Amino acid sequence: MTYDLMLSGGHVIDPANARDGLMDVAVKDGRVAAVGPDLPGEAAKTVSVDGLYVAPGLIDIHVHVYGGYAGWMFPDVHAFTSGVTTVVDTGGPGWKSFEDFKTTIIDRSKARVLSLLNIVAPGMLGAVEQDVSEMQAEPCAEMIRAYPDIIVGSKTAHFAGPGWEAVDGALRAAELSDTVAMIDFWPRPTRTYPELLARMRPGDIHTHVYAQHVPVLDDEKRVQDYMWEARERGVVLDLGHGAGSFWWRMAIPAMQQGFPPDTISTDLHQNSALIPNANMITTMSKCLNMDMPLPEVIRRSTVTPAAAIRRPELGSLTIGAEADIAVLDVRHGDFGFVDSGHARHRGDRRLECMMTVRSGEIVWDVNGMSWPDWEDAGEYAVIR
């Protein structure tokens, strides 16, 4: 059989299909055509990935690629360099602005861009996020239902008022549209974390689980009972790194007690992209250096986020699936990783993304593994 692309000799980690070993991955017509050791057949392009890990394209379920929050990021440049092929914008647009988001960003991106729709009708634009009159569950749900292939649920964030209008509105919109809600929450004396978690349904997503303002730990640095209970009920606990929402002083004690995040995500925006370096590949490296095994790091960046947004067809190398692939390296050395609280954790492993394939097309190739050496390149190619 002739394939379009063959990635040969890599160590495939595909948790959805219980694959963990040396295998080839073949792509035909933008889809995974075969996975296995020493695949027979030829390919129009064969790339040796010996010594590297081959994983499904990563899924980042908390990014900002539209709106006014701290400077949104255009998805392709920041996704593909980290092996991410699917991003979920979390609350950039509301129902009044979603179609502009679709036209200006979603339709123009090579990355798969999905959306959690803000319960605030205009979206994440600052002062309006405090206006409870703009928190309208019914039209939010109507817009979610109008684009079921793109909008995966609702979102609330940044509400500083004393009441539950934002949380209850997002949960109601998700209920009306049969989707999930992601909640970004600051506690107040009138609304506490145990009350929030009790409101959330199985499948709803609580982001920023290791933030300083999230009381995941009690005064004795033990994981709170209500956090264990929420996980037991099926609430999804998302990392959501961000500029201010990942603290080693919260994450490491929680991890040591067997309380990892269900999903690894970045909350990537302009204020989190540099310091504290909250891109996907570095956030995964931070989990790796909290002794999360590499297959689990990949699982929580592929399978579990796909399940959280109810897109089980994503995050795997299943035969026939769209060929979204990340080729990763694990570098060994003496590294330092910074958090949102101006603290460092030293580690000995760092993940790097060497190649990203989106729908069968190589869209990132940091070392030019898929290109000929210049001596063999022949005549000049036309660059578009």
The per-residue DSSP string of 81-139 comes to TTTEEEEEEEEEEETTTHHHHHHHTGGG-SSEEEEEEESBTT-S-SGGGG-GGGB-HHH
Architecture, CATH, for domain 57-308: Alpha-Beta Barrel (3.20)
Q: What is the mean pLDDT of residues 33-42?
A: 96
Tokens found for residue 265: 């995500």
> Is residue 382 scored above 90 in pLDDT?
no
Three-state DSSP class for residue 202: coil
Place of tokens 């300083």: 212
Name the DSSP letter for residue 16. G
- For residues 239 and 282, is the Cβ–Cβ distance under 8 A? no
Q: What is the pLDDT of residue 383?
A: 60
- Please count the other Cβ atoms lying within 10 Å of the Cβ belonging to residue 268: 29
Cα distance between residue 203 and residue 177, in whole Å: 14
Give percent of the chain with pLDDT exceeding 90. Answer: 93
Q: What is the mean pLDDT of residues 242-266?
A: 97
Q: What is the pLDDT of residue 64?
A: 95
Q: Which helix (H) or strand (E) holds 312?
A: none
Please give the single-letter amino acid code of residue 261.
P
> Is residue 381 scored above 90 in pLDDT?
no
DSSP secondary structure of 43-75: EEEEEE-TTSEEEEPEEEEEE--SSTTTT---H
Q: Residue 47 — φ and ψ, nearest 5°?
A: -120, 120
Cα distance between residue 79 and residue 85, in whole Å: 6
Closest to 298 measured CA to CA, from 6, 24, 20: 20
Q: What is the mean pLDDT of residues 291-304?
A: 98
Q: Does domain 2-55+320-365 have CATH number 2.30.40.10?
A: yes
Cα distance between residue 40 and residue 224, in whole Å: 53
Cα distance between residue 291 and residue 38, in whole Å: 32
- For residues 253 and 217, is the Cβ–Cβ distance under 8 A? yes
Q: What is the mean pLDDT of residues 318-323?
A: 98
* Domain residue ranges of the chain, discontinuous segments joined by +: 2-55+320-365, 57-308
